[in-house]
Structure 1
């Protein structure tokens, strides 16, 4: 043998070899044929079982025997791949109508493996008989098997549209297919309508084929997706589990899942739901139980008392395979190549196949009938001259001589002469002559009928319709999947995701925020909060994990922070800076914080700036769904800054204090409700070089404490204030001095239960009792409490 070395480029070799491989797995492995809906391995399994007599009306046979037959004669691949394909054909949660009946463990919806092939037994199902029926009547082309020892069918006769009824799934090189199962009665009815009217539209076909009909039932949503898939071959639907609500004896409710989406692993689904419960991703689930038994699938999700079962179900639809998307990708082999097909094309291809099968079968039956007719006519002729025929045969030397004499003397054909010499003596009775005449008449009628079918296309279609109608009557079942026109919107209720817990939210002046359990807060006390040196508590709020914190900054922006997203940190620990949650600008800092529960439009936020601007906005405007960056609460000019935030639920009185000691008091109804991006209106008419120090709600039971830059404190009663209109100059609170007049640097509204004050400088603080600061009249500067030369410049005042 001579050695031949070819000099080829690697690119050409790889391209050629992979091209051949791709062509093979596309055509001969992964994709179904549009005519019989089967992949090659499935076709070979069914044919091997049929050929060996392993049919539904016989006893079961060991699966290993079938696998051996398939490998030995038709499918030169591993026994595992053949057995796996065989098992799938027997699983009633994968196929709408199983093609193989199997005794023994054939797997489960939990994706448990089937028992080994040596343990299980199988035979063709009754409906499989309709796929292989008439295969021995030259109805389909055969080809040599892989070792040329026998032949195998290239396609099965398929008396029912199996591709749509049982669907198919597969992945090959560059192509994939996902064709869902359908209801047999609906598909056949649509096929019959297509025969009557080849121009029927997809919309008209959908009167009969409502949509997929999964063996696992469940609810299909999205008629538009079904229609698109039936038109183009591609479309998307939602498949949702069937979930009922049952009430237990103890008053608790449980969600009971009785049907799950197609090809969802039940055990993995149960495990996922239980993990969500254990990880507290969803609050309200007490226990998850798989109660599936021989009567049917059942998953029980027991809920805690007073839990919104619809909200829990919606969360599970969103976050588990209790609801999945199913994408149609109806690719099948048509005319030897992969093709994306709509429902009309699939039905049309199937009908063309049936026309071909019925034509070939009719021709085969006609040939058989004509051959028999020829023999019967010869026998009848022989019986009419029986004595002469017998005498001729007796005088012949042997069988061959007898045949030749019959042909020569009486003009019988070879086939007729063979039948005459093989005739048994008992057939020479008078009764048999009558039977031959009857058979002749019957054969004549059959031949006329078969010729009519071959000559008349409508008659041939009538045969197909009759056979399809017969199959529909025999195998039809009720639809299992319910179809809903629209895809339901899933609304996730926050209460379901987050366990409800009362907590303390705290914010420091330097912007550190945290949530703390009541246990940690009560064990430490307010004074023991963990803060950095130079920092102090700005505010702490009793709130709930279901609430949302609104943290306002000096730039007129706010941070939308769900409380449950804050880390649970001990009261004595520092917490995290707000800029780690939402990025802030370098010169931006926190000035106040509030917590909202439901954002109902029954309250307002009033925002006031240093330069005397003010606005009022409804609480409902502050709700948002995207909160990964600061949001605008008020449009603020570059040289201005927000200094105060107030939340009001009814009309209140506002008071404004300025640096130069001016005060303006007016009702909040002077402010109209504006949007978040508005700049607001003028609150007070400021003098030159003056600015606002305080804008707050004030009531008759309040007093106001002011700190001046010279270290004096002044406290006035509510009666000193004079109610006026917005945007006026206001009244003067301080006594004017020619040299170094007092200027207000900080102020607070004192509530009836406040008892102490603290003033701050850059490096120290001084505290005292509010009662020691006597109420004064309008034109006074108060009394000195610190020496600013020693204490430092006052920058804050706090009362508590």
Structure 2
């Protein structure tokens, strides 16, 4: 017969909820979170207990790690061997735990994240301080429960004769909970325990007079006492952990940064790679080399700097952008009374003190029972020796051991235990010496019993025992503090100038968008000749600048590119530059309009822009100092079909002259254009006729004597006095600048300003380039059509006009 099948109709949510609840409870209580009393997770506790049981202690030889792992898995922890070995290795890593609980021979990993050698190659034993965690465990001081297969017993907690949770800290992630408890200096924690025992109401402020804060095994500098105090009061808080670094001079007038301590839990190799990547990717120009000189004597990372670089600025940048400085968030969760609890410093200390009181009480009870039992035996032996002849006669007259014991009990009123001790007594013990030894033992036992009774009946004596033993541990194992604590979190300020070596270079930008920086040496070797560019291209901007400066590149799409000089490609004068679109993404028809260099953006200046549809706007120069510049940034919000035709830097200029294709000119004060943000569209600068558009703009300085040069598409050019145009208001149509011709009228290509000695470059549709000296043009009135400098039929129509003395400003 087949057994009857039974089905239960249960909701899926119920089943999954129940199963996950059980799983979560197991993970929280029995895997990922430490116990508040001994600071250990179950796997750690089982490893230490298994090694203790096997006699793999500090006073014995090392044993293969594989033997311990097999023992732990077989007897206490039925999980993967790798997880047990990893937990075992962590307890031996002096950069992970403040006081190693396991000593290991062989490769047990490194700060670089290297894996330890396989467990068959390494050897381990308990450390000296681990014996303090396990001391008195055989005296019924802690509760034991059956192991996973009921074949053995294991402890639920260790006696923990020092506050391991605070000393070594803990980290872990479970279901719904996580914990991050930093390690502390042993002597400070013990002093805090003693203070709390003397004054159970001691506040966090009072406790912090002895326990300064965390003390990481890797040292470092901890900043933020307020964060430490908050964590001690609430269980949560944030501190900054900074590497210990020194700036040292080296030969040749250079400096180097030497790092000797790094933040806790930081992977040294990854941190060094990140720093070297900053150098390789040219995000940090001041570094010439990053070396790891660490050896068995200690950690040492050397960052070599280039000449004339401010080392502190480089260090600040590395603090901000690498793991040379990290934030540490306290999240002090531990299992307290079988529940995950957010622990404050007082509750941690109280949990430990209560645990120690229980341990000492149970130990005293155990020792008292043993002492009383022994006292009973000693009293029986003393009594037997005092009536030795009768005792011997009684034993000799007995049939066997059992009969002898019964006769002793009935004849002399000995107890069962005393009778057993007497009949088991060896003959050599019947000497006079033995009775003396027994009386001494009786006296010492009586003292011990009185002492243990006092401990069990007096809370003061109990406290004194704990204090005395903690003082002994402090004397034996205390080490100097490694981490330095600073009160405030230092604000890191980074300026590009301190990160970039100061170097004079020649920066060039062509009309078609090829940019580069060239060393002064390369430029001088070519005498400024043979500049590499395409035949159809021409030089738009060339200037001697410093690598600490910046250029703003304005485009026809209403954008600007923020380009630090040091990040421009370093290319020889005779080699073609790199196209701007390979540095930042550009729109398909976006072309360069103007280029302006800036040492900084603090000047009281503004950027004036004008669009083809007659919009004009002004924005403060400081708005153009941006932090993120991996793409082109909007400077003028253009309507569909519109494009930017002018961008200029306004300093002393007070007026703007706008020229249109249909030969209208408008002159108005720049103050009529309000200063607005970068993404605005501006205001109407000129009132355009249908079909007309703005072709150029000129900013006017009343202190300078300026003339206007007008060039038409038919190749005509003329010079006009500025007085020909009266200053009016913006948004006007303006006045005519050419005599009207019904057949094939002139269309204005550009109007540029001149002080009399400039040259103007004309570029035609057929690629003809003509440079004209403005001195050769005679001033004419605004109704004149000027004189032809190019033949429209032969040379082609004029498409663009540039002022050669000012290549940074396209008109």
> TM-score over 0.5 for the alignment?
yes
SS in 1 for 2:364: helix
Q: How does 1:130-145 map to 2 (within 5 A)?
A: 130-145=132-147
Q: 2:106 aligns with which of 104, 107, 125?
A: 104
Aligned to 1:310: 312
Aligned: 1:706 with 2:710? yes
Query: Is the 8 Å Cα contact of residues 656 and 684 (structure 1) preserved in structure 2?
Result: no
Alignment of 1:7 with 2:11, yes or no, is no
Look up the match of 1:748: 752
1:63 alignment counterpart? 65
Residue 301 of structure 1 corresponds to 303
Closer/same/farther in 2, CA of residues 487 and 742 from structure 1, 3 Å limit: same
Contact kept in structure 2, 1:169 and 1:176, CA below 8 Å: yes
Output the CA distance in 2 between the equivalents of 1:84 and 1:772.
85
Q: Is the 8 A contact 2:516 2:568 kept in 1?
A: no
- The equivalent position to 1:211 in structure 2, one of 188, 210, 213, is 213
SS of the aligned residue for 1:209 comes to coil
- Give, in whole Å, the separation in 1 of the partners of 2:742 and 2:115: 96
The within-5 A match list for 1:625-704 is: 625=627, 645-647=647-649, 651=652, 656=657, 694-697=697-700, 703-704=707-708
C-alpha change, 1:490 and 1:57, in structure 2 (3 Å) is: same
Residues 1:411 and 2:449 are matched in the alignment: no
Aligned counterparts of 2:232 and 2:568: Cα–Cα separation in 1: 49
Once the two structures are overlaid, the 10-residue window that deviates more, 11-20 or 66-75, is 11-20
The alpha-carbon distance between structure 1 residues 75 and 674, as it changes in their structure 2 partners (threshold 3 A), is: closer
Q: Deviations over 1:27-47 (max 9, x none)?
A: 333332222122222222222
Q: Partners of 1:727 and 1:525 in 2: how far apart?
A: 47
CA distance, structure 2, for counterparts of residue 676 and residue 402 of structure 1: 111
Q: Identify the match of residue 781 of structure 1 among 755, 780, 784.
A: 784
Residue 495 of structure 1: how far off its partner (Å)? 5.2
| More displaced stretch, 116-125 vs 708-717 | 708-717
CA distance in 2, matches of 1:79, 1:635: 64
Q: 1:339 aligns with which of 334, 338, 341?
A: 341
Q: Indicate the SS of the match to 1:715.
A: strand
SS of 1:280's partner is coil
The residue number in structure 2 matching 1:758 is 762
How far apart in 1 are the matches of 2:374 and 2:687?
Answer: 119
Shifted more, 302-311 versus 537-546: the winner is 537-546
Alpha-carbon distance in structure 2 between the residues aligned to 1:544 and 1:680: 33
Please state if 1:506 is matched with 2:509. Answer: yes
- Verify the 8 A CA contact 1:611 1:692 in the aligned structure 2: no
Equivalent of 2:179, from 177, 180, 183? Answer: 177
- For residue 472 of structure 1, report the CA deviation from its aligned partner: 1.0
Question: Per the alignment, in what secondary structure is the counterpart of residue 210 of structure 2?
Answer: coil
Q: Which residue of 2 aligns with 1:265?
A: 267
Kindly report which structure 2 residues correspond to 1:35-54, keeping only aligned pairs within 5 A, or say none: 35-54=37-56
Mapped pair 1:230 → 2:229: no
Which deviates the most, 128-137 or 495-504? 495-504
Q: CA 1:408–1:711 in structure 2 vs 1: closer, same or farther (change >3 Å)?
A: closer
Where does 1:208-607 land on structure 2 (aligned, <5 Å)? 208-494=210-496, 502=505, 504-506=507-509, 508=511, 513-518=513-518, 528-529=533-534, 543=545, 546-551=548-553, 560-562=562-564, 575=579, 581=585, 592-601=594-603
Once the two structures are TM-superposed, the CA of residue 173 in structure 1 deviates from its matched residue by: 3.8
In structure 2, distance between residues paired with 1:104 and 1:710: 87
Deviation, 1:352, is: 1.9
C-alpha RMSD of matched pairs (Å): 4.9
Whole-angstrom CA distance in 2 between matches of 1:133 and 1:183:
21
SS at match of 1:108: coil
Match of 1:121 in 2: 123
Residues in 1 aligned to 2:608 and 2:172: alpha-carbon distance in whole angstroms: 62
In the alignment, which residue of structure 1 is the partner of 2:808? none
Q: State the aligned residue count.
A: 786
Contact 2:609 2:617 in 1 (8 A): yes
* Paired residues of 2:135 and 2:159 also in contact (CA < 8 A): yes
Which residue in 1 is equivalent to 2:200?
A: 198
- In structure 2, relative to structure 1, the CA distance for the partners of 1:681 and 1:124 (3 Å cut) is closer
- The 1-side partners of 2:323 and 2:693 are apart by 64
State the match for 1:770 in structure 2: 773
Instruction: Confirm or deny: 8 A CA contact 1:233 1:331 kept in the other structure.
Output: yes
Q: Gaps (5+ residues) in structure 1?
A: none
Distance 1:543 1:426, change over 3 A: same
Q: 1:789 to 1:419 in 2, by over 3 A?
A: closer
How many Å apart are 1:90 and its aligned residue? Answer: 1.9
Distance 1:256 1:409 in 2: 87
Task: Assess if the C-alpha contact under 8 Å between 1:176 and 1:329 holds in 2.
Answer: yes
Query: Residue 258 of structure 1 aligns to a residue in which SS?
Result: strand
1:104-126 per-residue CA deviation (whole Å, 9 max, x = no partner) reads 33333233333444443332211
- Structure 2 CA distance for aligned equivalents of residues 268 and 627 of structure 1: 27
SS of equivalent residue, structure 1 residue 550: strand
What displacement does 1:789 show?
Answer: 11
Does the 8 Å CA contact 1:246/1:253 hold for their aligned counterparts? yes
CA distance in 1, matches of 2:545, 2:452: 87
Structure 2 distance, partners of 1:263, 1:779, is 77
Give TM-score, length-normalised by structure 2. Answer: 0.81
The whole-number CA distance in structure 1 between the counterparts of 2:799 and 2:92 is 82
What are the superposed Cα offsets for residues 464-483 of structure 1, whole Å, 9 maximum, x if unpaired? 12211211111111011112
Deviations 1:256-294 (A, max 9, x none): 121122222323333333343334332232222221222
The worse-fitting range, judged by mean Cα deviation, of 518-527 and 166-175 is: 518-527
Alpha-carbon shift at residue 153 of structure 1 (Å)? 1.8
CA distance in 1, matches of 2:419, 2:583: 107
- Of residues 227-236 and 670-679 in structure 1, the stretch that sits farther from structure 2 once superposed is 670-679
2:370 counterpart SS class: helix
Give yes or no for the alignment of 1:624 onto 2:621.
no
Q: Deviations over 1:298-357 (max 9, x none)?
A: 122222222222232233333333223333332322233333322222222222221211
- Partners of 1:68 and 1:633 lie apart in 2 by 69
Q: 1:630 to 1:580 in 2, by over 3 A?
A: closer
Q: Which stretch has the larger CA shift, 558-567 or 432-441?
A: 558-567
